[in-house]
Copies of this chain bind each other. A is one copy, B any other.
Amino acid sequence: MSQHRHPGAPGRAGAVPALPDLPEATVARLPEYLRALHNLADAGHETVSSEGLANAAGVNSAKLRKDLSHLGSYGTRGVGYDVALLIEQIESVLGLTQCRSVALVGVGNLGHALAGYDGFASRGFRIAALFDADPARVGEEINGLVVRHVDELPRVAAEQLISIGVIATPASAAQAVADQLVAVGVTSILNFAPCVLSVPEGVDMRKVDLAIELQILSFHEHRKASLTALPGTAGSALTALPGGLAATDTQEAIGT
């Protein structure tokens, strides 16, 4: 939080912005800001205040300012942030200036949907190859891509640089697939299989488990039900919902 405040000293002015080393929580919110900024740009806005952008991204304005301050001072006091400039900066920090290639392993139920998801391409990700272990699925064409056998992974990875591997296999196959991805040099993995994966140090790993999200919601549902059943000190909006849905943008508990 207190390195290179760098009062001026334009000595180097190199291309590398000195690796700001952002807090993880901030990194997780930058994509949200980026999406909001694209929306604003499409709507014709040239500048936006922290309040406005915070609303569009569903966060507190103080938090947003602190987040953005970590990447440098790209706002103008009294005015706000230049939308185009901020988009450029965030994309630069996130490494989205180059199109990143994604290898998707497991073309089952979920894999099919991911292969056809257009939200990837629109954010600068290109699905470079599809793999599956089931011979019955190999050869199938999805969204213009042919499914290959997972054993061909090394050959395909040698031809084109794979930035990110996505695992959408059953849990039983996930660890083996992760090992294969690591073996061909993939250092970032997104795992949809409901299991814990071990990867060597230096490999980044994120997990998305749909059932877990439902279970967390189930807990809160359960808690709310218990509360209404009790004597009830606080149960205002819980017992009978206001038909007006006043829509205070309350957004609770997005998962840290």
Contact = CB atoms under 8 A, between A and B. Distances in A.
Interface of A: 3-4, 16, 19, 22, 24-25, 27-28, 30-32, 34-36, 56-58, 93-96, 100, 102, 109-110, 112-114, 116-117, 119-120, 122-123, 125, 163-164, 179, 182-183, 185, 187-190, 194-227, 230, 233-234, 236-238, 241-243, 245-256
Contacts of A252: 204-205
5 contacts: A94-B222, A183-B241, A201-B248, A204-B220, A204-B221
Contact of A163 (B120, B190, B203, B218): B218
A200 B250 CA distance: 7
Contacts of A243: 183
B210 A206 contact: no
Contact of A94 (B36, B215, B236, B250): B215
Nearest to A93: B219
A200 B245 contact: yes
Q: Which 3 A-B pairs have the closest CB atoms?
A: A95-B222, A113-B113, A58-B196
Contacts of A233: 3-4
A196 B56 contact: yes
A249 B122 CA distance: 34
A221 B163 contact: yes
B245 A183 contact: yes
